[in-house]
Amino acid sequence: MLACPSVFGDNGAMSDNYDFPLNKLLAPRDRELIRDKLVISEAPSGTVIFDATSCKGILAVIRGVIRVYILSETGREITLYRLFENDICTLSISCLMGKLPMQAMIKADTDCTIASLSNDVFSGIHERTPAVQTYLLEKMNERLADVMWVVEQVAFHGMDRRIGRFLLEQPSTVVYATHEEIAFELGTAREVVSRMLKYFEKNGYITLSRGKLKVIDPKGLTKSIGGLEGGGRGQAN
């Protein structure tokens, strides 16, 4: 499942101490089962953790950030959402429940530590624990909202607004990303991003430098894209 070996082994010390996100909903025997069967693995930044051909288990993020995205036939990427510490990947769960190939990719956005559980183990726990079924349904609804937000952006908003909003919603005014990385994030071509960033720079909203940019006039940029009404994307819970 993971494109990298486990650094702790199938029953490493970390799996004894790690509190799997579903543990609070489980009977003692199932908590023990997860502790025995959980695999802890390292995924360096850029590692493809799941692809459209694999459906071998579920995963949870112990450390780092993973990105869920779709990939076109021409290699263009559109980010659907990100998962953070203690998140469970509901996409891998829905794949298991439906026994369908995954239609999205999952990649380590940073160096990550991942907990994974096999199909056979999780399926039994899911079937006999109604609280787990309810919890996962709620999480899948949250992820669906994230995906619908992306659909809205792609379908109804111009690239100037999408790029501007992307810059304004970053946690810092300094954005460490290449034009190509921004293009991957938004599902467009690098040339489109470069042209729009040059326009923003020409109008004094940002400054560009190698591998990064800085938003120097957020009010002007916000006005130029028609505001940020409608709310932004929240981080995964």
Query: What are the tens digits of pLDDT across the range 3-51?
Result: 443 333 344 445 567 889 999 999 999 999 999 999 999 999 999 988 7
pLDDT given for residue 75 in this prediction: 77
Has domain 13-154 been given CATH number 2.60.120.10?
yes
- Please report where in the chains the tokens 């899911």 appear, as a residue: 126
- The domain spans of the chain are 13-154, 158-224
CATH architecture of 158-224: Orthogonal Bundle (1.10)
Whether the CB-CB separation of 90 and 140 falls below 8 Å is answered with yes
Model confidence over 192-226: pLDDT tens digits?
999 999 999 999 999 999 999 999 999 999 998 88
pLDDT given for residue 98 in this prediction: 60
- pLDDT at position 2 over 70: no
pTM of the model: 0.68
Cα–Cα distance measured from residue 94 to residue 136, given in angstroms and rounded to the nearest whole number: 9
Model confidence over 67-121: pLDDT tens digits?
998 887 777 788 888 899 999 987 777 666 665 555 788 999 999 999 988 888 8
**Residue 14 DSSP symbol:** H
Q: Is 143 helix (H, G, I), strand (E, B) or coil?
A: helix
Residue type at 124 in one-letter notation: G
